[in-house]
Structure 1
Amino acid sequence: MKTTLGELMSAVQGLTTESEISEAVLKILAGLPSGKATFRHLIREIPNFVKLTPADHAVSETRPNEHVWEQRVRNISSHRKSEKNYIAAGYLVKVNGGLQITELGRQHAKKI
């Protein structure tokens, strides 16, 4: 896979990438019997799976009540048509207020 401009910018700025956040979400959901969780639950759990950087903790310019990393969790849903997105890849599906892992996602989670 090619590196996207967003991923390059994240690396330069010291931000956790959307792919890294997506992997954490996959791991969280794979550990839940229902395989689904609200964004609020995912945001509460992500720091247990990802070492967030100081840049991740900056306040989002477009969502002033969120940190940048929290916005990236929600971006999984809003960027669902992007090439590297975990919804587009078939690993996750959007559910009311959150995300659910698919069987393909469970298989992928075992590899990461």
Structure 2
Amino acid sequence: MADEIDIARGVVQIANANGGLCTYKRAYREVPNHVQLSAANTAPSIKRPGEPMLHQLVRNIKSHQTMLGNFVHDGRLVHVPRVGFRVP
């Protein structure tokens, strides 16, 4: 199963290929092209019915920004409120 760090790496790759910005919508659509996802990653979220776990993992990059190893915390991504992420 791809974890939050794998997803964040994919977001960085997408941002680098798109002028430094990766919107949430683009991440949801394109992360599977950059990260090998498991069935668990694409399964419906328990907390948000009707939404795949991938969406939650993308949003968790922001939610876990105070944790060591998180790409926002470590300065590898910058959160753009209501948009997504950009590379610094």
- Normalising to structure 2: TM-score of the pair? 0.91
Q: Deviations over 1:51-100 (max 9, x none)?
A: 21111111111121311122101100111111110000001111132111
Contact 1:76-1:87 within 8 A present in 2 as well: yes
Contact 1:57-1:67 within 8 A present in 2 as well: yes
Q: Which has the higher contact order (CA 8 A, sep 6+)?
A: 2
> What are structure 1's unaligned runs of at least 5 residues?
1-14, 103-112
Q: Indicate whether 1:86 and 2:54 are aligned.
A: no
Q: Following superposition, which runs of at least 4 residues in structure 1 exceed 3 angstroms of deviation?
A: none
Q: Deviations over 1:13-40 (max 9, x none)?
A: xx2111111111111111112x112101
How many equivalent pairs are there?
A: 87
Aligned identity (percent) is 36
Q: Indicate whether 1:31 and 2:17 are aligned.
A: yes
Local SS of the residue matching 1:55: helix
Q: Indicate whether 1:52 and 2:52 are aligned.
A: no
Q: Indicate whether 1:16 and 2:10 are aligned.
A: no
- Normalising to structure 1: TM-score of the pair? 0.73
> What are structure 2's unaligned runs of at least 5 residues?
none
Task: State the distance in 1 between where 2:87 and 2:50 align.
Answer: 27
Task: State the distance in 2 between where 1:63 and 1:99 align.
Answer: 22
Task: State the distance in 2 between where 1:16 and 1:75 align.
Answer: 13
Match of 2:56 in 1: 71
Q: CA RMSD in A?
A: 1.1
